[in-house]
Amino acid sequence: MKKIVIGSRESSLAVAQSMTVVDAIRKALPDAQVSLLTMKTTGDRILDRTLDQIGGKGLFVKELDVALREGRADLTVHSLKDLPMDLPSDLPIVAMSRREDPRDVLVLPADRTELDPALPIGSSSLRRALQLKQLYPGWEIRPVRGNLQTRLNKLDSGQYAALVLAAAGLKRLGLAHRISRYFSVEEMIPAAGQGILAVQGRSGTVWDCLKEYYDPESAAAAVCERAFVRELNGGCSSPVCAYAVVSVDQIALRGLYYDGDSGMYRIGELKGSVSDAEELGRELARSLSKGRL
């Protein structure tokens, strides 16, 4: 019997996301024995500092990468938005899921129906904080770390007026009822890859059993968005972000460029062919950085 081990972070959300891959493989290979290997990453352990202070998103994948390289895991599953823009060549992405709702949302405490002006809005994302300042001018934005349940507990215990979270994670955990407001992608541009799950494997391996799981539209959008952010050297310490929509053979990209020295930012859009998705991302990044849009 073929044995396949899927590596995952140990949070409830990470496990729920990884189980979508487990289910897809079990459907394609009913005779295979598919199991989860869960672990706490460095990024999960260090909760008293923001990501830019402790080394970035790579801390959420470090231990999982080691498990892949050592053969303890055959595949690993990540929220694509949490993966560094530059991935090691020996651990390529072998599949991307259909995109869940890419929007950011506002979540209020369980016992409230409106924002408490005496409390801050919780978000550790510089991308969200920058755009929140336009939506809620003058409101204090305070960092909040931890897995989804930990952050919700902090919210419900009265530490925050609201949290800004990804709709995708809440929906995957059956918590859509906690959402008080959806921000349109025009109000708040999502992180590159938000709502998409990425499956990593070792180079040289072929995973035909993930053909049905792989979504070409999500993959094209992700390539475009990540090319935009990569061109601008954006990372966890930058609010640079992008969101692409694929329609048949065309792709439309909306991106945010940020100048860290001046605090100035520009938003622009560009359309082109899906076949040119990566170059489109780079082109929009260059145009915004030079003030041509």
Catalytic positions are: 82
> Which residues lie below 8 Å from residue 54, measured CB to CB, with a gap of 6+?
42, 43, 46
Q: Which residue has the tokens 């209020």?
A: 108
Residue carrying the six token digits 């950011």: 104
Distance CA 207, CA 94 (A): 7
- Residue whose C-alpha is closest to residue 183's, from 170, 167, 162, 171: 167
User: What CA–CA distance (Å, rounded) separates 241 from 56?
Assistant: 15
The edge-to-edge listing of strands for the beta sheet with 162-166 is 141-142, 121-122, 162-166, 104-107, 179-182
